[in-house]
Amino acid sequence: MKPTLHLFSVPHTSTTDEYSWCAFTSLAKSFSNMMFDLGYEVFLYAGPENDARCTEHINCRGGYEWTERVPQYESSHPGWQAFANVAIKELAQRFKPGDYLCLIGGYVQKPISDAFPGCFIVEPTAGYQGIINEPNAFRVFPSYAWMNACYAHWMGAANANGSFYDAVIPHFLEEKDFPLGDGSGDYLLYVGRLIERKGLYVVKDIAERTGLPLVVAGFGDESLIPPGAEFVGSVEPAERARLMGAARCVLMPTLYVEPFGLVAIESQATGTSVLTTDWGTFPETVEQDVSGYRCHTLAEFCAATEKVLDLDRVAIQEHALNTYSTRVIGPQYDDYFHRLETLKGAGWYA
């Protein structure tokens, strides 16, 4: 018998396509679909609207009206507190010993798990800094780069020990949402938050030096949009997939150590290659000269915009779907929860 999962999304959105601009909302929706389809009982605690498949959707908005598109990820934030208060009340009516609390928000949602001492905590998409580091908490990191970075942060690079019951399982996508594109738009595409650390000045320089058209999709500081770019704002999944499929390539010159970067696998799922930096998750998600190029200089980025024309779009898509689709990732999570169940048999769970 499969265990019951109590899945907590984030409070400022709803688990619908309208909020696909929030990566963790999108992941919560797909995770619920994936695990429910595998036969798990999934209670989804989220915003007021829901399109995810689940056993029951519980609205935990809590009366707080969000005015920020990207909230402060702090447990003291009134929106997070309101969400936690409602979630705790609703969870108390459904929780059974041995159930798993799946926290999409990580440490900021710790007040929920604190209300149920000794419960099993799982962070199923731990691609953020605020991770819960406690004996009854288990983490699924989206990349080895991020897992090792977190261990080093907690314990020091030379002193870090691993955890047998953590795991690395990549983020995932639903393949029906990503038809094969043909690159017929022949433009460069940036999709993501409009912040400096996403490397937008590099995007600007690539577009200027190559003279290729640039399309920008996302939200944030619009003053960072390169001059001359076509800005389309935030886009829902169907339009995002269309933009990706028609692009010559997608630019992801992220400056920080990227925990995963969903855009990279989404782009590849449409057959479109990706140009990235060469650290963080990208050595795990972008195969050099196959699904894109990891670059170190502006000259390398610009040269890569020509080399991508020789890459096999069908092969790129097939590899992405056979690696990152929920069809493939779901069984990995099934195995992971089976592994955690062995802890109960060993008497770990009180």
Residue 229 token pair: 């770019």
Give the SS3 label for residue 325.
Answer: strand
Q: Compute the average pLDDT of residues 199-214.
A: 98
Q: Compute the average pLDDT of residues 189-208.
A: 97
Q: What pLDDT is attached to residue 347? A: 52
Q: Compute the average pLDDT of residues 57-73.
A: 77
More confident residue, 62 or 172: 172
Number of structural domains found in the chain: 2
State how far the alpha carbon of 61 is from the alpha carbons of 13, 45, 79, 103, 106, in Å.
9, 9, 8, 16, 18
User: Does the pLDDT at position 73 exceed 80?
Assistant: no
User: Does the pLDDT at position 46 exceed 80?
Assistant: yes
In a domain, 332, yes or no: yes
In a domain, 125, yes or no: yes
In a domain, 329, yes or no: yes
In a domain, 206, yes or no: yes
pTM of full prediction above 0.85: yes
User: Does the pLDDT at position 349 exceed 70?
Assistant: no
36 and 179 assigned to the same domain: no
104 and 211 assigned to the same domain: no
Q: Compute the average pLDDT of residues 222-234.
A: 97
What are 146-168's pLDDT values in tens digits?
Answer: 999 999 998 899 999 999 999 99
43 and 86 assigned to the same domain: yes
State the Cα–Cα distance between residues 287 and 307, nearest whole angstrom.
14
Q: Compute the average pLDDT of residues 61-83.
A: 77
User: Does the pLDDT at position 67 exceed 90?
Assistant: no
Confidence band for 71, pLDDT divided at 50, 70 and 90: low
315 and 334 assigned to the same domain: no
What proportion of the chain, given as a percentage, has pLDDT over 70?
A: 97
Give me the CATH number covering residue 210: 3.40.50.2000
What are 170-197's pLDDT values in tens digits?
Answer: 999 999 999 999 999 999 999 999 999 9
State the Cα–Cα distance between residues 198 and 190, nearest whole angstrom.
10
In a domain, 124, yes or no: yes
286 and 329 assigned to the same domain: no
301 and 241 assigned to the same domain: yes
Which residues, in sequence order, are CB contacts of 174 under 8 Å at separation 6+?
Answer: 30, 33, 325, 326
247 and 303 assigned to the same domain: yes
319 and 337 assigned to the same domain: no
88 and 182 assigned to the same domain: no
93 and 211 assigned to the same domain: no
Domain that holds residue 271: 175-324
Q: Compute the average pLDDT of residues 10-17.
A: 92
What are 107-148's pLDDT values in tens digits?
Answer: 999 999 999 998 999 999 999 988 998 888 999 999 999 999
More confident residue, 169 or 350: 169
Residue given tokens 């009134």 in the structure block:
78
Please provide the average confidence, as pLDDT, over all residues in the chain: 94
314 and 250 assigned to the same domain: yes
In a domain, 350, yes or no: no
Q: Compute the average pLDDT of residues 255-274.
A: 98
In a domain, 46, yes or no: yes
In a domain, 89, yes or no: yes
What are 278-296's pLDDT values in tens digits?
Answer: 999 999 999 999 999 999 9
25 and 84 assigned to the same domain: yes
**DSSP result, 141-191:** ES-HHHHHHHHHHHH-TTT----TT-EE----B-GGG-PPP--TT--EEEE
Cα angle value 240/51/193 (rounded, 5°): 35
